[in-house]
Structure 1
Amino acid sequence: MSADSTGLTTVPAIRALPKAEVHVHLEGAIELADLLEAAREARVRLPGPAATLFDVASHDDPPHPSPLSAFLRFLDWEGALFSSAEQLERLAYRFAARQSASGIVYADVIVNPAHWPSWRSDPAALFDALGAGFDAAAADGLCRVRTCASILRTWDAATAEDLVSAVVARRPRALVGVSVDGDERVSGRTGGRFRGAFQAAGRAGLRRTAHAGESSGPEGVRDAIDLLGAERIDHGVRAVEDPRLVDRLADEQIAVGVCPTSNLALGLFRRLEDHPVDALARAGVRVTVNTDDPAALGTRLEAEWALCAAAFGWDDARILRLARDSHLASFATDDERASALARLQEREEAAA
């Protein structure tokens, strides 16, 4: 196939493909209208003008040492606006609706209780309320969404293990896995610290993913695999610096959840053409392209795919592979994955 024959590299065509998204944070996907509504309900002043609310650096006082650290503090502010289960259910439903508008039929969404102060003492209740909204959305035919409970990289081992214990004991609806996120540059290597928490999650049947290879180098990716048992790597782009690690990712089919616009925004790469997403895919790594924090970054999944297609000359076959790999990398059930792949096959046959 080629881009000229079916045009699968355009934004409308990509939107029409049944896709999965595996690296997106709920905290970074809350739209401006939802934040303004929640701020009014909480009677909380905005940290800056509404029109530039996502320009975190413009209202970060005192300044933080890195753009990511400043952004994480902004997430703390917005998470504090949501104190009722009803608000969380509404937020979850709207997230699923926006995913559906991008042609996403399944999503693993990352949620870090550290950013939700009203729920830190009972994280299982946070995930249960979100799960109720996601289940309601699925019942209405919208995107199926499941959550990954994320450990903040600056936590100690006991706090991480407490989170895992809490969600394992209650097993909130829609919870599928655990994650770890935060600023690698500030916290350094943390694989050993969270090994116990991830092992407990694995024993309980939860899936495991981890942020690594973003501001850390290849060693962060190796730690995530060897110490945390990560089945998928969020970001993982700096694995490209170690050819042996790239071969391992390809051989073991450990997917990477790449977020090009996010990486450019944080200055990891100067231009999209410099980004290693294409090199990783050509090396046989199961690459997925995702949004990370779509509201804050002003992006949508179909736009991310189209940008990569234009930058790297991806044709229709490459886009279809990207769609297939998105489902293979997801934590969907076997039946959900098979159904999505069958729909994708039908789309491919219709375009042939």
Structure 2
Amino acid sequence: MESVRDVRKLPKAHLHLHFTGSMRPSTLLELADRYGVHLPDALSGGTPPKLRATDERGWFRFQRLYDIARSCLRTPDDIRRLVREAAEEDVRDGSRWLEIQVDPTSYAPRLGGLIPALEIILDAVEEASRETGLGMRVLVAANRVKHPLDARTLARLAVRYADRGVVGFGLSNDERRGLARDFDRAFAIARRGGLLSAPHGGELSGPGSVADCLDDLRAGRVGHGVRAAEDPRLLARLAEQGVTCEVCPASNVALGVYDKHDDVPVRTLFEAGVPMALGADDPLLFGSRLAAQYEIVRRHHGFTDAELAELARQSVRGSRAPADVRAAILADIDAWLAEPPGASEEPAA
């Protein structure tokens, strides 16, 4: 086998990681036992569950598993543990900057309310960043299946905590439900407060949902965005505007958006000049973390080390890291590429 550089040592930024979905499977098992939560076999079997969310029933099953896992996060200590472990996993995979996405309303009932929940999360992020050396920030995300007024409340809250580590505002859950324009006022609040607009689009729905993110929510990044590959004019627009797509190859296949890794249009986006940031999405459910996404692109799309380095640069440029942090990571990416490849290593898991 051709000798290649270790992608776990490639400095990179991680811009698409959901809060509960970042949990280690072993941590979920321990917390479920502590709180007496019955886990279905799909979460307790030791292997990633079989998922296919391209129909309503499949998405409901995915969301149900996610909700069960989230119910095991009940105390500030649980939150601190999850964030610290997520940071440790990212550092192990070569991440130098992480923007973790969370809807604090999901944790508010057990943590004393919406504001205390976000403050606990931000304190945990600050602590984990200090302990691990990983740059970390938070992207607050509204839920597409809830009322747009809820999103406005979250946007105001996110802006209020912009000086505590909130850098962006997102929109998650099933993009086939609700219109992007229903949330335009929430995103306007966030943008006026200096936050990045980073809604999901172009995964379960087609390229039109990506265009809606651009037109209605003025997205600076798009969560997933891979379905833009079906519209050459949209690809050109993303490239021209420099909108980064947070591409998550493993989850695209796990959710049935594409049948196999070879079908994910990573090469199409790359050659069209669309900036990308590879992300792990929900490792708890999809079974692979950040470095594994780079291995997938290498193995299934023929990306060279030079091209992988460019993907890492694009992730850094698409981040909200301070200019000096970006410059340092970019320099280290160049250093990774400048070193001759050593003997092949075991692939990232």
Could you tell me which residue of structure 2 aligns to residue 84 of structure 1? Answer: 75
Can you list the C-alpha shifts for 1:169-227, whole angstroms capped at 9, x where unaligned? 35473321110011123x14x21111000000111111110110111111111111111
* Distance in 2 between residues matched to 1:282 and 1:192, nearest whole Å: 30
How many equivalent residue pairs?
Answer: 338
Could you tell me which residue of structure 1 aligns to residue 14 of structure 2? Answer: 21
What amino acid maps onto 1:67 in structure 2?
Answer: G
Could you tell me which residue of structure 1 aligns to residue 145 of structure 2? Answer: 154
Are residues 1:316 and 2:305 paired?
yes
Are residues 1:221 and 2:210 paired?
yes
Are residues 1:40 and 2:37 paired?
no
Alpha carbons 1:75, 1:115 under 8 Å: kept: no
Could you tell me which residue of structure 2 aligns to residue 7 of structure 1? Answer: 4
* Distance in 2 between residues matched to 1:52 and 1:172, nearest whole Å: 40
Could you tell me which residue of structure 1 aligns to residue 44 of structure 2? Answer: 50
* Distance in 1 between residues matched to 2:31 and 2:58, nearest whole Å: 25
Alpha carbons 1:124, 1:167 under 8 Å: kept: no
Alpha carbons 2:22, 2:284 under 8 Å: kept: yes
What amino acid maps onto 1:157 in structure 2?
Answer: P
* Residue 56 of structure 2, aligned match among 65, 70, 73: 65
Alpha carbons 1:113, 1:119 under 8 Å: kept: no
2:259 is paired with a residue whose SS is coil
With over 3 angstroms needed to count, the CA separation of the structure-2 counterparts of 1:57 and 1:243, relative to structure 1, is closer
Could you tell me which residue of structure 2 aligns to residue 242 of structure 1? Answer: 231
What amino acid maps onto 2:310 in structure 1?
Answer: R
Unaligned ranges ≥5, structure 2: 342-349
User: TM-score scaled to structure 1, two decimals?
Assistant: 0.89
Can you list the C-alpha shifts for 1:300-336, whole angstroms capped at 9, x where unaligned? 2222211211212111210110111110111212222
1:87 shift after superposition: 1.8
Are residues 1:178 and 2:169 paired?
yes
Alpha carbons 1:80, 1:118 under 8 Å: kept: no
* Distance in 2 between residues matched to 1:344 and 1:334, nearest whole Å: 15
With over 3 angstroms needed to count, the CA separation of the structure-2 counterparts of 1:69 and 1:172, relative to structure 1, is farther
1:44 shift after superposition: 2.5
* Distance in 2 between residues matched to 1:271 and 1:172, nearest whole Å: 42
* Distance in 2 between residues matched to 1:162 and 1:121, nearest whole Å: 17
Can you list the C-alpha shifts for 1:279-306, whole angstroms capped at 9, x where unaligned? 1101111122211111211112222211
Could you tell me which residue of structure 2 aligns to residue 332 of structure 1? Answer: 321
2:313 is paired with a residue whose SS is helix
1:227 is paired with a residue whose SS is helix
User: TM-score scaled to structure 2, two decimals?
Assistant: 0.90
Alpha carbons 2:305, 2:337 under 8 Å: kept: no
Deviation beyond 4 Å, 4+ runs, structure 1: none
With over 3 angstroms needed to count, the CA separation of the structure-2 counterparts of 1:171 and 1:120, relative to structure 1, is farther
* Residue 84 of structure 2, aligned match among 75, 82, 93: 93
1:120 shift after superposition: 8.3
Correspondence 1:61-210 to 2 at 5 A:
65-116=56-107, 118=109, 122-171=113-162, 173-185=164-176, 187-188=177-178, 190-210=179-199
Alpha carbons 1:114, 1:152 under 8 Å: kept: no
Q: CA RMSD in A?
A: 2.3
Could you tell me which residue of structure 1 aligns to residue 285 of structure 2? Answer: 296
Could you tell me which residue of structure 2 aligns to residue 266 of structure 1? Answer: 255
* Distance in 2 between residues matched to 1:40 and 1:95, nearest whole Å: 20
What amino acid maps onto 1:36 in structure 2?
Answer: L
Alpha carbons 2:47, 2:287 under 8 Å: kept: no
What amino acid maps onto 2:225 in structure 1?
Answer: G
Alpha carbons 2:277, 2:315 under 8 Å: kept: yes
Alpha carbons 1:127, 1:172 under 8 Å: kept: no
